[in-house]
Amino acid sequence: MAKLNVSGLTLNPDEVTEVSKIIVETQFVDGELSANYDIQTGISHDQAIVFLASMGVSGKALTNCTPAEIGGLVFTQKVWTPKLVAGRFTFCEADENQLIKWLKQARNVYNDYFDRTGSTELQMVAAAIISSMKVSIPAKVWFSSTTANDIAGGGVFANGTDLGLFNQFDGLFKQIFADASVPRYTISKNSGGSYAAQKLAADEGDTILENVYDDADSRLTGSPDAKFYATGDVIKNFRKTIKTKQYNGGLTEVLENGKVNLSYYGIPIFEEKTFDHVIKTYQDNGTTLNLPHRVVLTTQANIPIGTLSTDDLNNLRSIFDEPNNTNIIDFGYFLDAKFGESYMASVAY
C-alpha cells in the first residue's frame, strides 16, 4: 500500500509539479502548544512536582510583642512519570503512484531515485509528521489512560481503535474524573441516547459556562491565568446566545490583532479542537458520543505538560536504508501530564 495516498486527487501527468501547491490538512492544529499549555522541559522519571496551596486569611491583633503564628504551608506533590512516545514513517519510491510528477525528477536510480534525503516530498512528509505530533500531544495529554479499553471491553473507545495510541499514561480527563473534590456541573445532554438527543438546546452553552464559573473557587476565578477549555458545540451554542441576546458585560467577544477572542466574565475561552476530534473519531459507538460536551476551567500551571526537551517535538531523524532502498523518518519524545490542585479547577461534562 502506498504511503502517499493520492487516490483523492484527479491529476493529469503535467499537473502538480510543485510541492507548494499541495495542501496538507491542518484543521486540527490551532497555534503553538505553548500558547495554551504550560510545557515543562528537562523533567526526569520520578521527579516531584510541588503545588503550593493558597494560605487564605492570616494575621491577628498583636498581643504583647509576639505576633500570632500563622498556619503552615500546605504542599501537594505529584510525580512525573514520562513515557517515551515514538513513531516511524517508511517510504520507498518504487511503491508510490508515478502520477505524482516530483517522484520522476531523479536522474540516477540509486543516488537520486531511491535515496530521497532532503527531497521536496520528504520535506513535505516531515512537515506533516510535525503537525501530526502537535495534534497528537494534546490528544494524549487529555484522553490517555493506562487502562484504556474499547467498548467491547467495557471502555469508551470505539471498537477497532488502536489502544496503543492512548494507554501510555493517565491523561488529564482521567485524573480530573477521579478527583471527587473538583466541582462538577453535570451536562444532562451527554447522557442522551442518540446523536440528536445529545444536541444542546438554545442557550445551554451559556448555562454550562455559568455553572462552571459559579462553582469555581474564588481563588481560581480571581486568577489572571484562569482559562476555559471547551468543546466546540458548547462554544458555538454560547456564541449564538451572544448574537441573539447581544449580551454585554460578562459575555464578550473582543477583536485583538485581527482575531476574535471570546471570554466569560473576563476569563478567556479556548476551543480545544482536540476534544472534538478525539471524541468524534475515537469515542463514537455508532449511536452516541462519549461525553461530547466538556468544559474545564483551570490555569495552565495547574495542568502542566512534561517533556525532556521541546526540541524533541520538532526534531526528526531521517535515514536512508541502502539495502532496502527505503527512506525512514523517525520521531520520539517523552511525555506526561499532571492535574494539580482540585480547588484550581471547575468542570462540566
| pLDDT digit string, tens, across residues 249-281 | 555 666 555 566 899 999 999 999 999 999 999
Average pLDDT over the chain, rounded to whole?
79
Confidence label for 79 from pLDDT (cuts 50, 70 and 90) = confident
**19 domain-assigned:** no
Summarised one tens digit per residue, pLDDT across range 279-302 is 999 999 999 999 999 999 999 999
Query: Span 106-117, mean pLDDT?
Result: 49
**59 domain-assigned:** no
**310 domain-assigned:** yes
Kindly tell me if the per-residue pLDDT of 25 is higher than 50: no
Query: Span 37-60, mean pLDDT?
Result: 67
Query: Span 14-33, mean pLDDT?
Result: 40
**50 domain-assigned:** no
What domain range is 32 assigned to?
28-44+81-348
pLDDT of residue 56: 54
Q: Which of the pair, 111 or 196, is modelled with greater confidence?
A: 196
Domain count, the chain: 1
**67 domain-assigned:** no
Least confident of 23-32, 49-58, 133-142, 336-345: 23-32
Share of the chain above pLDDT 90, in %: 46
Kindly tell me if the per-residue pLDDT of 16 is higher than 60: no
**180 domain-assigned:** yes
**11 domain-assigned:** no
**94 domain-assigned:** yes
Least confident of 66-80, 142-156, 234-248, 260-274: 66-80
pTM of the prediction?
0.76
SS (H, E, C) the chain: CCCCCCCCCCCCCCCCCCHHHCCCCCCCCCCCHHHCCCEECCCCCCCEEEEECCCCCCCCCCECCECCCCCCCCEEEEECCCEEEEEEEEECHHHCCCCCHHHHCCCCHHHHHHCCCCCHHHHHHHHHHHHHHHHHHHHHHHHCCCCCCEHHHCCCECCCCCHHHCCCCCCHHHHHHCCCCCCEECCHHHHCCCCHHHCCCCCHHHHHHHHHHHHCCHHHHCCCCEEEEECHHHHHHHHHHHHHHCCCCCEEEEEECCEEEEEECCEEEEECHHHHHHHHHHCECCCCECCCCCEEEEEHHHCCEECCCHHHHCCCEEEEECCCCEEEEEEEEEEEECCCCHHHCEEEC
